[in-house]
Chains A and B, each alone.
Chain A
């Protein structure tokens, strides 16, 4: 990504940056906590991290991926540029269940008052995996997808896509 020339690319880029920040907070928390030390899910810091995972990461990822697959990728496909759509969809299929599963576990831990040693070890491993997969995925979208948008999405389609995505974000 060198320059952002379309409205929809600017929106997606801004959301990428927001997601990266949330993921890095999660990653730093998991790294400091280690897989062995079960956190106290009643403290404000831990609840903030877990809420962030549910509200920001899982929700954003779900909306972002859904929008790309339902609205953006079909347009690229029409232009004969299906390769990038297929590639990124394969990665979405690996990331989305991971993000949603973790969000579910985080919600359960907050409701139950915490993690067990076993559930924390598993949560820790999958949390680290999510951070790594999603940040790497964002790097690929920044380099490939935003450039593809600049090349293949015309001004009218750009305006429509941006309006639609803005509406989805406002509704969240």
Chain B
């Protein structure tokens, strides 16, 4: 396949299309499930401070189902381009998927229905999938001496991934055995490592590749990009240590450190955006910019929650802004650019014109998604602040409509590519 040889040229450095697209397809499905679950159990979100139930399931549908699924698909596709080295095994990517997908389904079912056996079984499957994913990434990153600004971030992300998996399994075991002296503190550390350490660093790292590509910009400032990664990592370590050892000062200093590093990262990205040749960036960048805006907001809310300031409001707001505001907004913005771009590349055949992005993409579906998503962020945020489940439900329904719009967009891309490949010689 021509596409398999593209980017860096070497055979198998990029994967067959079914590998990344299966992960992206699952992410599309889990986004619908997450908003749907919140819409049904909206009254449980205001004042939610953790523990098994539908809100924990909804949270993990986004973090594992959307964010980690997208991260796996994107990493398998992009890392070989960055490292100039093929993945060790395409089969292992498939095994990762077939461990992780049922794992997430079972784990979130168990969380929602408070069934320990399902949480333990699903969690174990998901963690095995995560370890396999981490192994493939580590194998690919070894001997890599170039593009350090990307790989530095990815190394921190992988270390965080392993730590969050261990913390997650510990939390699951504690539901049965009750051996942790402070379950909430470990859960908070798990959340911080997952959202900022793993997903955050992966998203920030790949931004150095993707944002200049989307905007046709000048190369990013790698020196300051790496400095930002180190400062954020220091902040992460301090915050996690502060949470695990009950030190508010540690959490606050870590958060301030994180804000500083993030400020530096966003300054580098602002320079990239300023140097771009592409004038019109489309709706995707509204979502990407929303994510960038809400990432520091989440840190401020996290500091408020850790400091005990209106914790019944700041706690759930922190979780919501972090997971749905930063992560989901940013990832959906990136995903709506990557999916048609990859599909267009897969459509190249001898003697046949590649499909135009405008044919693959129906902007009406993306507009529905964007409006639904942004409306959901505002309404659910207000609902949490006002402790009003009905406002949360209205917001979640808007998010659900948006997620269905995104599914229609992705489905159209897949359908059009399939039809094109069937007719191509």
Using CB atoms and an 8 Å cutoff, list the residues of chain A in contact with chain B.
1-4, 16-17, 20-21, 24, 28, 76, 79-87, 90-91, 93-94, 129, 132-133, 135-136, 138-140, 142-144, 147-148, 151-152
Contact = CB atoms under 8 A, between A and B. Distances in A.
Nearest to B279: A24
Contact of A20 (B2, B209, B220, B277): B277
Interface in B3-32: 3-11
B138 interface: no
Nearest to A86: B2
Interface stretch (B159-167, B348-356, B364-372): B348-356
B354 A147 contact: no
A90 B357 contact: no
Contact of A84 (B6, B220, B354): B6
B204 to A, nearest CB: 14
Contact of A90 (B2, B11, B209): B2
29 contacts: A1-B212, A2-B212, A2-B220, A16-B216, A17-B216, A20-B277, A28-B279, A81-B8, A82-B5, A83-B5, A83-B9, A84-B5, A84-B7, A86-B2, A86-B5, A90-B348, A90-B349, A90-B350, A90-B354, A91-B354, A94-B354, A132-B357, A135-B278, A139-B341, A143-B7, A143-B213, A147-B84, A148-B9, A151-B8
Interface of B: 2-11, 81, 84, 147, 149-150, 208-209, 212-214, 216, 219-220, 222, 277-279, 341, 344-345, 348-351, 353-354, 356-358
A132 B348 contact: no
Contacts of A76: 9
Given A3-B219, A24-B277, A143-B81, 17 more contacts: A2-B209, A2-B219, A2-B222, A20-B216, A20-B278, A83-B5, A83-B9, A84-B7, A85-B9, A87-B5, A93-B351, A132-B358, A135-B216, A136-B357, A140-B345, A148-B8, A152-B9
Q: Which of B147, B209, B277, B344 has the most CB of A within 10 A?
A: B277
A3 B209 CA distance: 10
B84 A151 contact: yes
Contacts of A1: 212-213, 219
B7 A147 contact: yes
B411 to A, nearest CB: 22
Contacts of B356: 129, 132-133
Q: Which of B4, B8, B149, B345 has the most CB of A within 10 A?
A: B8
A135 B216 CA distance: 9
Nearest to A31: B280
Nearest to A24: B279
Contacts of B350: 90
A83 B11 contact: yes
A166 B258 CA distance: 46
A154 B311 CA distance: 60
A54 to B, nearest CB: 21
B354 A144 contact: no
A143 B3 CA distance: 14
B277 to A, nearest CB: 5
Contacts of B6: 83-84, 87, 140, 144
A20 B6 CA distance: 22
A136 B77 CA distance: 18
A93 B147 CA distance: 32
A68 B345 CA distance: 19
A85 B3 CA distance: 11
A133 B220 CA distance: 25
A81 B81 contact: no
B70 to A, nearest CB: 19
Nearest to B12: A83
Q: Which of A87, A94, A142, A151 is the most central at the interface, judged by chain B CB atoms within 10 Å of its CB?
A: A87
Nearest to B356: A132
Residue in B150, B208, B279, B349 with the greatest tally of chain A CB atoms within 10 Å: B279
Nearest to B358: A132
Contacts of A79: 9
A161 to B, nearest CB: 17
A84 B8 contact: yes
Nearest to A16: B216
A148 B8 CA distance: 5
Contact of A81 (B4, B9, B150): B9
A142 B213 CA distance: 7
A138 to B, nearest CB: 7
